[in-house]
Structures are given as structure tokens and as C-alpha cells.
Amino acid sequence: MSEDVALFVAAELFEPGLRDGLTAFFQRALHRDVDRRFDTFKQMEDAWRQIFRTADSAKPATTPATVGAVAASTEEARETAAAAAELTTALEAAGLSPRAVSVANGLRAGTVEELLDVPPPHAIARARGAGTLVRRELNRRHKQWTAMLRRPPAEPASSAAAPMPPSLSADPQAQAQLVAAEPVDSLASRLAPGPARKGNLRPDIIRLTLGLPRSASDGGGLSPLGAWPPQTAIAKRDFGVVPVDFNKEFLSIFRALADELNTDWSKVLRADWAFTGSGELKPGLRSYVQRVTGRMSERLIGMAEEAGSKAVLFVHNASLLARYFDGGGHDLLVTLQQAARRPAQSPHGLWWLCPMEDPKQTPSLDGRTVEVVDRATEWAVLDSLFLKGLKATTAETA
């Protein structure tokens, strides 16, 4: 074979978002002239990883709906593109990451409409090459676009209360008499907030606080929370607060894994007892714990996604996370914290209850430090009255 023959790379087989990077990589890695290849494995590995870092930082293609939009970051650009997407918008321009686009293409979805025709979450969970982050991204966009583009027709707005005649508004006594004689429904319409932009929770909070129904679809009558509900109850309903008994969920997953692997539960307990005595997490028990914490992470994220885009996980009774802190517990905690700090990820918020005797001490779970980035925004000391209300509301909704 002639040495002048150049290497041919079938670039058309690569995903569009990775095509340029992969083509350049293989042209260099397999170059006929060895002096023009990578010098070391480390250099080759760095170049490979850079392909995906570059793709992950790429902003979506511009569409007529996003022309002129200014985004300070890739994440902001993707959120803008997703909010402006239509059924016919190509997924590359709809705000999905290149990895998510690649998985969607494997499901034969190239546009927003085609992705919405894919039944989540099972089809997406079984998709080839779909890691946890990609599955979460696809499920989140699926829900977002379903609500945006396939939402049933909105109910006609109720007629607003008639304005008060100028002659009466100038006379306080006449005005008071008119208001006293006004029907309850008319008074409610005056108190009810008007329409708000998507994502604004203020109207819902006002309606719940005043005991007004959210819409005609609620069946009328008082708020489902009753008259003058506590703020904890409103927060749980309106922000989608999901109470999570960590130890209960953790043990449920642990037992299921033991059954799956045909391991007698008493054997697990003996290994755990040995861990209590020695303080050393043996390889066998460690492998179980790591698999359990991985599944626990997926379960918690799934619970948040099912509760909605504004879901907040309220995690309590988490002594087992501290017990297995070095066996995956710390990684689980950090994963959830990082996700809650990013608007594009789920859960939207994370409340992690850390029982402490001294409110001035750094938050911890059984001696294991719970890191906070900003004390002003990520650390709140709860008084006993608030905790009692929270406990009562949790018991009612359990």
C-alpha cells in the first residue's frame, strides 16, 4: 500500500455534536506517520476527554425563536432554547445536551414531537448509553415539553368583579355598606390574584392562605388545606415538598438487593455487627453498601421528578447515611446537594434535617460533617415550634 494514502475516517457515522472532535482525534491517533500521533497515553486520554468537555459546553443551535437571545452560560442558553422549543424543533436546537441528543436519536427521536412520542420513563431508562444524568435530563425535558406543547386547553377565566362606581368609592360609609352586602364569591374574586407568568407560585400561595380554590377544576369550596393553614402545610403542597425517611428507604433497598442476590439477611446483619465492633467496612459489605447508595440516589431523584419540577426533598432520620458515610453515603449526600444547587437538575431543593444540640455548630449527622457552601442560604436553624408543625403536617400527608 502506498504511504501517500491518507487515513479515511467515516465521520458521518459520528453524532453531529461529537463529529469534529472524534474525526480529529482518530486522524491523529491512527496517523500513518507515527511521529504525528499522540506521544503518550496521558496525552491521548486528555484529548479524548476534551472532546466530550467541548461538546458538553456547546450551546444549542439558534432557531428563529432564539435569535437575539443572550445567555451568559451554556446552561442558561439550553434553558432558553428549551422554553422556546416547538414540536418541530430539532433536538440539537431544543436545549438538550449532545449526550442526551445521542440517546434520543437511538430512540428514533430527532425532534421535540418525536421525543414526546417516546413513553417515559421506561423507554428512556432502557435506552442504550443512557446514564443517570442523561436519563434525568430526558425525563425532565419530556415533562417540560408535554406541559408546554400538549397541555389541554385552559379553562375560561372567571369574570372579574364589577368595578365600584366612582360615586360610591368617594364615600367611605357607602363603600363599606356595599362591601358588606357583596356576595362571598364576589369578595373572593377581588382577593384572588390575577394570572402570573409560568413558575410564579405567588397566586397559589395567596389562594391557599386565604382558603380560596385554585381553579374551577378544584370543585369550588375552601382550600384543600382548610382555613388559615400553617405555612409548613402550604410549603409542602405548593412547593412539592416530599418527606423522605432515609433509613426506611435505605433498608428497603438493602433488603431487596439481598433478596435479589439470594443472600440471607442474617448474614448481612452479622457483617454489619462486625463492622460495628471493628469500625472497618469489609470489602463484601462495602460492595453491598455502594450498590445500595447508588440505587438510593436514583430512588430519591425519581421521587423528586415524580413530584414536579419544583420538588423539594425533605430528608430526615438519616443515621444510616452517617453510618456508611465512607461506603457511599458521603457521595450520595454530595450528589444531591450539587443537583439542588443547579436549576436545571432535580431535586429543585433539598432540606436535610440534622438534629443538633448546639445550633452554632457546623451541621453534622452523628459526627459526620454536612458541608454547606454558603451559610446564609444553605443553613437554617429551625425552632421547636416549626419542627412540631412540620412533624404534624408530615403525619397528615403520610
State the Cα angle at 79 between 16 and 196, rounded to 5°: 150
What pTM was estimated for this model as a whole? 0.47
Peptide bond into 347 cis (omega under 30): yes
Q: Please, which pLDDT band fits residue 260 given cuts at 50, 70 and 90? A: very high
User: Would you identify the CATH topology of the domain 74-149?
Assistant: DNA polymerase; domain 1 (1.10.150)
Please report the pLDDT score of residue 26 as a whole number.
Answer: 92
Name, in order, each residue with C-beta under 8 angstroms of 378's C-beta and a sequence gap of 6 or more.
372
Judge whether residue 92 has pLDDT over 70: yes
pLDDT over 90 at 245, yes or no: yes
The CA distance from 320 to 332, in Å, is 12
Once rounded to an integer, what is the mean pLDDT over residues 340-353? 86
Average pLDDT of the chain to the nearest whole number:
79
For residue 219, pLDDT beyond 60:
no
Other beta carbons less than 10 A from residue 82's beta carbon? 20
Question: For the sheet containing 349-352, what is the strand order?
Answer: 241-245, 312-316, 349-352
- The more confidently predicted of residues 254 and 386 is 254
Q: pLDDT band at 161, cuts 50/70/90?
A: very low
Other CB atoms within a 10 A radius of the CB of residue 334 amount to 12
The Cα angle at residue 49 between residues 33 and 34, in degrees rounded to 5:
10
Q: How confident is the model at residue 267 (pLDDT cuts 50, 70, 90)?
A: very high
What digits encode the pLDDT tens for the residues 307-326? 887 788 999 999 999 999 99
Mean pLDDT of 151-158: 51
- pLDDT tens digits, one per residue of 226-240: 666 665 566 666 567
If you average pLDDT over residues 85-113, what whole number do you get? 88
pLDDT band at 168 (very low <50, low <70, confident <90, very high): very low
* Among the ranges given (72-76, 104-108, 207-211, 285-289), the one the predictor scored with the smallest mean pLDDT: 207-211
Say whether pLDDT at 295 is over 90: yes
Query: pLDDT digit string (tens) for 2-28?
Result: 556 677 888 888 877 788 889 999 999
In the chain, where the domains are located: 11-56, 74-149, 241-397
pLDDT > 70? residue 120: no
Return the pLDDT at 294: 93
What would the DSSP string read from start to end of 312-378?
Answer: EEEEE--HHHHHTGGGTHHHHHHHHHHHHHSTTSS-SEEEE----S-TTSPPEETTEE---S-HHHH
Element (H, E) at 64: none
- Residue 341 pLDDT: 85
Mean pLDDT, residues 156-181 taken together: 53
- Looking at residue 226, its pLDDT comes to 64
pLDDT tens profile 34-80: 888 999 998 999 999 888 888 777 788 888 878 777 766 788 888 88
Give CA torsion, residues 297, 303, 306, 308, to 10 deg.
-90
State the Cα–Cα distance between residues 294 and 291, nearest whole angstrom. 5
